[in-house]
């Protein structure tokens, strides 16, 4: 099974830095190297940005990052010739738009995120969701709509988003992870910044794809560098602050991330970069588990088993999003498998509506009274409910479009992993904060003054959905492996071109 192409061929030769210029990399080893670099850059940027909140002027942090981003793009991709790949000069309007887009992407939008976060609000898990998982999934969606298997990859992106929410919901217990319930305004701004960042980089990547780096590198570098310089001039940091390891590491990670996304996004590399950015919460969390295991930083504020389960589901989602399929249409497994998969989606939809968690809240009010509340959460408020629904959709789309032999095996493997993860993630809500419970009670969760306990209820609809999905996928795999017409998708060479 072949990974999607990273770069679209622009021409032979190398940049002045000696790095290959837009070469069509399709080797899995190189694809994984790019993916790993983006994961590390995203994770390091989030950690360093978090460490800088409340300690350094946000304008200084963003300004240094933007300047370094522009410098790195210029160093790697600014060739000696001043004309585009087509031999025509780039219109001044196009260069101006690229300059503005680059400045907004690396200075304006990051500053908007900083303006809406503080050292303790919104919680770090929520900030991580909007600045890593949501950004990455949005980039995956951009890459998916331009290629084949659109519906399957878009659904895999949803599964990846849910799995990362499952990781972040276990950063604490009881977790402070609550999407769009508390600090709604800042979260909306962060979501807007994420979508705008992806839109701007998608525009810049499209310009690079059309004009080549020869015409694009300079305006991109100037836009980021000038915007960063303006922010830096407007801030009041001392030289010692600018040379702080926190700021320098954040700037370096931001610059590498910007360079890598722009370099790979002209092709189907948007899928690789997007899945890597979205996987950052799992990478950060797994590192804390390792640190705790070797005794570096003491106790860990996470639940290991649910994090590992959610990370495993995320790995399956990434594989589904990245693995290519055969151009040759295979024979669909049949009406029975299609009917079972459709029934699985309907059952899983019922699982989103039906009660899934019982919640018991106990705490004390400031006037000395005891507060008690018992209520239920529906499936759409839980990680497990969305896992069952999304996997049912993946099976339906796969069966409907026709299964290759190895894709059928992959879907079955993903179902096995998800079924095991589902049992672990059942008690995990997507929010703990509830608007009608007094804040003085909720802010004391996890102390001797207040508690919140989640109890899984009967999840019959989710179980039916998972079971029918497994039956449909199993029947599809059995049919595909027995049918002589079935084509092994891994053995068919594919080269994704323009759509």
pLDDT at 150: 86
Those residues whose C-beta lies under 8 Å from the C-beta of residue 450, and which sit 6 or more positions away, are: 361, 362, 363, 364, 371, 441, 442, 444
Question: Rounded to 10 degrees, what is the CA torsion of 101, 105, 107, 108?
Answer: 80
pLDDT at 367: 84
Produce one character per residue of 411-440: b if its CB has 16 or more CB atoms within 10 Å, e if not. Answer: bbebbebbbebbebbbbbbbbbbbeebeee
pLDDT at 497: 42
Residues 73, 224 contacting (CB under 8 angstroms): yes
CA-CA distance, 324 to 189, in Å (whole number)?
Answer: 35
Q: Over its length of 499 residues, how does the chain's per-residue pLDDT go in tens digits?
A: 444 444 443 343 343 333 333 334 456 677 888 899 999 999 999 999 999 998 888 999 999 999 999 999 999 987 644 444 445 566 788 899 999 999 999 999 999 999 999 888 899 999 999 999 999 999 999 888 876 778 899 999 999 999 999 999 998 777 789 888 889 999 999 999 999 999 999 999 888 888 888 888 999 999 999 999 999 888 776 666 778 899 999 999 999 999 999 988 755 788 999 999 999 999 998 877 766 666 555 556 788 889 999 999 999 999 999 886 544 445 556 788 889 999 999 999 999 999 999 999 999 888 888 999 999 999 999 999 999 999 999 999 988 877 677 777 788 889 999 999 999 999 899 999 998 999 999 988 888 889 999 999 988 999 999 999 999 988 887 877 766 444 444 333 334 444 3
Return the SS3 of 447: strand
Predicted TM-score (pTM) of this structure: 0.88
pLDDT at 296: 53
Q: What are phi and psi of 488, to 5 degrees?
A: -75, 110
């Amino acid at each position: 099974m072949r990974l999607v192409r990273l770069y679209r061929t622009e021409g032979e030769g190398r940049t002045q830095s000696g790095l290959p210029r837009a070469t069509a990399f399709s080797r899995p080893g190189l694809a994984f190297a790019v993916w790993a670099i983006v994961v590390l850059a995203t994770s390091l940027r989030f950690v360093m940005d978090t460490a800088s909140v409340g300690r350094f002027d946000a304008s200084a942090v963003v300004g240094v990052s933007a300047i370094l981003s522009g410098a790195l793009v210029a160093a790697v991709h600014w060739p000696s010739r001043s004309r585009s790949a087509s031999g025509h000069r780039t219109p001044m309007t196009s260069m101006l738009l690229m300059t503005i887009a680059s400045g907004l992407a690396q200075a304006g939008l990051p500053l908007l995120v900083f303006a809406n976060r503080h050292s303790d609000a919104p919680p770090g898990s929520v900030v991580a969701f909007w600045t890593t998982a949501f950004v990455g999934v949005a980039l995956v969606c951009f890459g998916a709509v331009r290629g084949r298997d659109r519906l399957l990859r878009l659904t895999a992106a949803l599964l990846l988003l849910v799995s990362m929410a499952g990781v972040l919901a276990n950063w604490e217990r009881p977790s402070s992870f609550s999407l769009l319930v508390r600090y709604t305004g800042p979260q909306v701004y962060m979501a807007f910044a994420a979508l705008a960042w992806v839109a701007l980089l998608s525009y810049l990547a499209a310009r690079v794809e059309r004009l080549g780096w020869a015409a694009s590198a300079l305006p991109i570098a100037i836009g980021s560098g000038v915007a960063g310089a303006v922010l830096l001039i407007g801030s009041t940091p001392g030289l010692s602050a600018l040379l702080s390891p926190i700021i320098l590491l954040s700037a370096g990670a931001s610059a590498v991330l910007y360079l890598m996304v722009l370099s790979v996004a002209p092709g189907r590399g948007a899928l690789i970069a997007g899945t890597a950015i979205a996987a950052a919460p799992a990478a950060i969390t797994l590192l804390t588990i390792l640190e705790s295991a070797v005794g570096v930083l003491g106790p860990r504020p996470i639940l290991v088993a649910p994090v590992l389960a959610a990370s495993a589901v995320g790995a399956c989602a990434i594989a589904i999003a990245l693995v290519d399929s055969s151009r040759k249409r295979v024979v669909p497994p049949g009406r029975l498998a299609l009917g079972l998969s459709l029934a699985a989606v309907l059952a899983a939809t019922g699982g989103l509506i039906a009660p899934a968690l019982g919640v018991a809240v106990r705490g004390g009010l400031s006037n000395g009274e005891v507060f008690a509340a018992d209520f239920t959460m529906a499936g759409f408020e839980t990680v497990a409910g969305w896992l069952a629904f999304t996997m049912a959709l993946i099976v339906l789309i796969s069966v409907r479009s026709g299964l290759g032999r190895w894709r059928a095996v992959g879907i079955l493997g993903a179902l096995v992993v998800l079924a095991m993860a589902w049992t672990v993630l059942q008690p995990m809500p997507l929010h703990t904060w509830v608007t009608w419970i007094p804040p003085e009670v909720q802010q004391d969760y996890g102390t001797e003054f207040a508690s919140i306990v989640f109890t899984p209820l009967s999840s019959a609809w989710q179980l039916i959905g998972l079971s029918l999905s497994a039956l449909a996928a199993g029947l599809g795999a059995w049919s595909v492996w027995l049918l002589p017409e079935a084509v092994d998708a891994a053995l068919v060479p594919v080269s994704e071109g323009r759509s």
